[in-house]
C-alpha cells in the first residue's frame, strides 16, 4: 500500500462535517497571532526572538490540531482534505469549504466545487 493509500480519505460531506471545527480553531489561532503582533511593525518577528517563538508556538499548535482532525496542513491557515483523487481545499478566511484541486495542480489550480 502506498503512503497516499494509507492516508485518510474524505467525502465532501465528511470534510464539511468537521469544517466548522477547523474554521473555529483557525479563527482562534489567527486571533492569537494578531494579538501578539498588534501595534508592531512588519520586522518585529525578525527582531524579537521571543515574539517569533510565541507566534511559531501558536501556528504549531494549530497545525497539530488540524492534523488531529485528519486534515493536511499545506501552509499558513491552509488545509486540504484528501479525497483519493485530489483535495477539498480551504484557506482562512473563506467562509466555507468550497474548492477542490487535483494532486498535481496544487493550490494555484483549485476551482469551485460543483
pLDDT tens, residue by residue, 38-96 = 999 989 999 999 999 999 999 999 999 999 999 999 999 999 999 999 999 999 999 99
Look up residue 20 and give its three cell numbers.
466548522
Q: How far apart are CA 59 and CA 61, in angstroms?
A: 5
Banded pLDDT at 6 (limits 50, 70, 90): low
* Domain count of the fold of the chain: 1
Higher pLDDT, 108 or 2: 108
Domain ranges, residue 47: 3-112
pTM of the predicted model, to two decimals? 0.90
DSSP 107: G
Look up residue 34 and give its three cell numbers.
494578531
What pLDDT does 42 receive? 85
What pLDDT does 2 receive? 46
Q: For 84, what's the count of Cα atoms within 13 Å in the CB-facing half-sphere?
A: 4
Amino acid at each position: 500500500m502506498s503512503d497516499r493509500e494509507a492516508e485518510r480519505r474524505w467525502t465532501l460531506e465528511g470534510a464539511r462535517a468537521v469544517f466548522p471545527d477547523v474554521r473555529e480553531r483557525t479563527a482562534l489561532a489567527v486571533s492569537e497571532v494578531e494579538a501578539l503582533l498588534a501595534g508592531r511593525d512588519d520586522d518585529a518577528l525578525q527582531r524579537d526572538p521571543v515574539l517569533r517563538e510565541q507566534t511559531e508556538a501558536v501556528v504549531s499548535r494549530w497545525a497539530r490540531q488540524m492534523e488531529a482532525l485528519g486534515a493536511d496542513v499545506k501552509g499558513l491557515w491552509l488545509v486540504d482534505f484528501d479525497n483519493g483523487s485530489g483535495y477539498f481545499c480551504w484557506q482562512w478566511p473563506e467562509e466555507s469549504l468550497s474548492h477542490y484541486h487535483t494532486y498535481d495542480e496544487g493550490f494555484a489550480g483549485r476551482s469551485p466545487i460543483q
